[in-house]
Structure 1
């Protein structure tokens, strides 16, 4: 079984109420058992919602309590993101999922990059909160740009 960001599966759960449907991923996964996940919705955030970024940091820094997550209006949403990451990990552990394809650049799911927290469309090298938590718990995580890793 493989976990996939729900937005990549065509589920409109992103902050803007849209999906990021990826026919390439769907095609690659046609013979696989899939579990669609959206850590932000699992954490209790609505759809749609204000854009959110990790302020000048990465998911691993949020997990260590060093950085926070804010929406564009300055509201601290860190607790929602931490809850969503924990619930996602629990769900994957229950289903014995060892691999996850997650949406790049997301404050939750970003694998290699996240936005810098200044809402100016600039990215930092690093992963999102859920991505960091999954990797630290032995789950193989990769982005939609790395689908060759699906086995």
Structure 2
């Protein structure tokens, strides 16, 4: 059985990002993995019923996904709307899909308050980045899934080869 990889839908070319766009990851190994049936695609936010496009969201007060999971931080939209419950549902859906499909790894778009694993934004909507995990990335890591950002695909390739 080959190692399965949960992948952010936007990286696979699906126009599911908050702004209605995709952010395709163009790398030869993606097509190889697709042909081998290794890829399991999800947009966590859409799986939780969030629409496209939608207002941008960030984890408030420079907090992290782990804190959202613990109930001590919130996810808010630029409009001020609290979307914490949607992001928690999104994370739960991603973990459930990863378990169901047997995904040992996840390849997620960085910067997202859901999928970010190298960096997320600081909650001020000013474009300031901070190292940390989004809600889905934190939940997947807690569930034992190894998470890699789109900038770490070479590391993922090496890890799978081990």
Per the TM superposition, whether the score is higher than 0.5 is: yes
* Distance apart, 1:30 and its partner CA: 2.2
* Structure number, greater radius of gyration: 2
Match of 1:17 in 2: 20
In 2, the alpha carbon distance for the partners of 1:29 and 1:12 equals 17
Shift of 1:31: 2.5
Q: Which residue of 2 aligns with 1:63?
A: 69
Give 3-state SS (helix, strand or coil) of 2:58's partner: strand
Kindly indicate whether residue 7 of structure 2 is the aligned counterpart of residue 4 of structure 1: yes
Q: 2:56 maps to what in 1? A: 51
CA RMSD of aligned residues (A): 0.8
Q: Which runs of 5+ in 1 are unaligned?
A: none
CA distance in 2, matches of 1:121, 1:69: 16
In the TM superposition, residue 20 of structure 1 has moved relative to its aligned partner by 0.2
2:119 paired with 1:119:
no
Where 1:40 maps in the other structure, the secondary structure is helix
**TM-score of the two chains, using structure 1 as the length reference:** 0.96
- How far, CA to CA, are the matches of 1:92 and 1:127 in structure 2? 17
Residue 31 of structure 1: aligned partner: 32
- Runs of 5+ unmatched residues, structure 2: none
Whichever structure has more helix as a proportion of its residues is 2
| Rounded Cα–Cα distance in structure 1 between residues aligned with 2:91 and 2:50 | 12
Select 2:95's aligned residue among 89, 107, 130. 89
Find the aligned partners of 1:104 and 1:31 in 2 and give their Cα distance: 22
Q: Under a length normalisation based on structure 2, what TM-score does the superposition of the two structures give? A: 0.90
Q: Give 3-state SS (helix, strand or coil) of 1:13's partner.
A: coil
4+ long deviations beyond 3 Å: none
Q: CA deviation at 1:8?
A: 0.5
C-alpha distance in 1, partners of 2:107/2:10?
A: 11
